[in-house]
Amino acid sequence: MTQLTHPPFAPKVLQTLQSLGIRTQADIRSRGATGTFLLLKAAGLTVTRSTLWQLAAAMRNAGAHDLEPSEKNALLEAVRLHPPVAVFPPASEMEFFMRQALAQAKQSAAAGEIPVGAVAVKNGEIIAAAHNTCISSCNIGRHAEISVLEAAGRTLQNYRLDGCDIYITLEPCSMCAGALIQARVARVVYGAREPKTGAAGSVVDLFGNIRLNRRTAIAGGVLADECGALLQQFFHARRQTRPTQ
């Protein structure tokens, strides 16, 4: 593996890349030049177009001067169209908060509701927690995400949840994805994918839709097996209790 060096990267760029776990050409390739560029910005580094050229050139072991004008224009357009990027917490921290969301989901299951739970986090502290209550409330809007946004808004006395993270055991649907975007949540972390209704890439990707107010970065797959198993167990038990005809 070819290690990244100075030159061509400026010392601060190289230091930030290393802090993000990006140390080789292969690391850049795995994220793409535009994704890596936006990650540097999300980390608080002031970067210029030349950094983008250097990242793209490093992917193919070339120099920035080798890029054609058309390639540079394509990179700039890719940056414009790229889904939001954020620096997410360490895996151990995300797993901790996802376990709190799982505890909420288990409350749903115990009440006969589809087991989905969510927590809202700000500055490393849980400020709200909720789970699905659609059946008991006779309200399709009582998804865990909608309820946790409402509870967090009451806590902060603001419907805009700038700087907040939302952890959800299941990939949000289009209704919930829209609410998360409208609330200006900074980061969404979900557990299991939802192949039938997921709006974070499984069916549609509202978070990456350039026509919407794109502010919310998303990461999935945190404790995915545990989150998915809880849903599978719930639906299996429900099928077992259905009367036979």
Q: 59-94, pLDDT tens digit by residue? A: 988 889 999 999 999 999 999 999 999 999 999 999
Tokens of 76: 């700039």
Q: List residues forming the annotated binding site for Zn(2+).
A: 143, 173, 176
Task: Judge whether 86 lies within some domain.
Answer: no
| Domain extent for 69 | 11-81
Cα–Cα distance measured from residue 240 to residue 245, given in angstroms and rounded to the nearest whole number: 13
133 and 155 assigned to the same domain: yes
Task: Judge whether 66 lies within some domain.
Answer: yes
> How many angstroms separate the Cα of 213 from the Cα of each of 73, 83, 93, 177, 187?
23, 11, 28, 12, 14
Provide DSSP, 167-180. Answer: EEEE---HHHHHHH
Cα–Cα distance measured from residue 27 to residue 197, given in angstroms and rounded to the nearest whole number: 32
Q: Is the pLDDT of residue 174 over 80?
A: yes
150 catalytic per annotation? no
Question: Into how many domains does the chain fold?
Answer: 2
Task: Judge whether 64 lies within some domain.
Answer: yes
Q: Is the pLDDT of residue 231 over 70?
A: yes
75 and 112 assigned to the same domain: no
Q: Is residue 187 classed exposed, middle or buried when 0-12, 13-18 and 19+ CB atoms within 10 A define those classes?
A: buried
Confidence of residue 113 (pLDDT cuts 50, 70, 90): very high
Confidence of residue 213 (pLDDT cuts 50, 70, 90): confident
Catalytic residue from among 77, 125, 145, 194: 145
CB 82 within 8 A of CB 214: no
Task: Judge whether 120 lies within some domain.
Answer: yes
Q: List residues forming the annotated binding site.
A: 143, 173, 176
Confidence of residue 148 (pLDDT cuts 50, 70, 90): very high
Task: Judge whether 36 lies within some domain.
Answer: yes
CA angle, residues 161, 163, 164, in degrees to nearest 5: 60
167 and 111 assigned to the same domain: yes
pTM (2 decimals)?
Answer: 0.91
CB 16 within 8 A of CB 6: no
Q: What's the average model confidence in pLDDT over 199-208?
A: 96
The SS3 assignment for 98 reads helix
Residue 162 identity (one-letter amino acid):
D
CB 95 within 8 A of CB 222: yes
